[in-house]
Amino acid sequence: MTLSRFIRPSLLALAAASFTLAAQAAPLKVDAAKSAVTATFKQLNVPVDAKFKKFTATIDFDAAKPAEGKASVEIDVASFDLGEPEYNKEVLKKEWFNAAQFPKATFVTSSIKPAGSGKFDVAGKLTIKGKSTDVSFPLTVKKEGSTQVFDGTLPIKRLTYNIGEGEWKDTGMVADEVTIKFHIVAQ
């Protein structure tokens, strides 16, 4: 057997293996129409639900190898929808999201650990209004055919991120606790 006869099949096998690994490592495609990021808080002790209409998520996840998983979410804060145009304009101001200076809120994972039966503990960095903090939350992942559904709830304190400055720091008007929920559908 000549050297070229040996090298050619070896190179083809290496190329095929590399292609297979690259295909497996590709991020999942997020279905934005079926996905949602919402926030719930209390104003004068009455629950208020809002949603972010525009966000992108990049997810590279295999439930069999969660430690190798990575995810990032970028939220367009100007898309925050309280269901009332006047309120939607108000929250974009400096006292709230300051969307002109800080148009995006982001989350990037630092670790994903198995917690049993489709559940995972996720840690990462959340950045809102220029302030970054380390956060963690439970994640549930369900496989539905070729689709994976990621559900999680992340409680935060709005004042940690300077959301609600000046007179709006009063937690008697708007509670400090905010619950961010996400439902991400990807394949």
Q: Map out the domains of the chain with their CATH numbers.
A: 26-186 (2.40.128.110)
- What's the mean per-residue pLDDT of the chain? 90
**Mean pLDDT, rounded, for 6-28:** 47
Give dist(CA 88, CA 106) in Å, integer.
Answer: 20
Residue 184 or 1, more confident: 184
Give mean pLDDT, residues 67-88: 97
The pLDDT confidence band at residue 9, using thresholds 50, 70 and 90, is: very low
Among 63-67, 126-130, 134-138, where is mean pLDDT lowest?
63-67
Is the model's pLDDT at 23 over the cut of 90? Answer: no
Task: Kindly list the strands in the beta sheet with 131-144, ordered across the sheet, starting from the edge strand earlier in the chain.
Answer: 55-60, 70-76, 104-116, 119-128, 131-144, 147-157, 174-186, 36-43, 46-52, 80-81
The per-residue pLDDT for 167 is 94
First to last CA, the chain: 45
* pTM of the complete model: 0.84
Q: What is the pLDDT of residue 24?
A: 44
Euclidean distance between CA atoms 151 and 141, whole angstroms: 7
Whole-number pLDDT of residue 4: 45
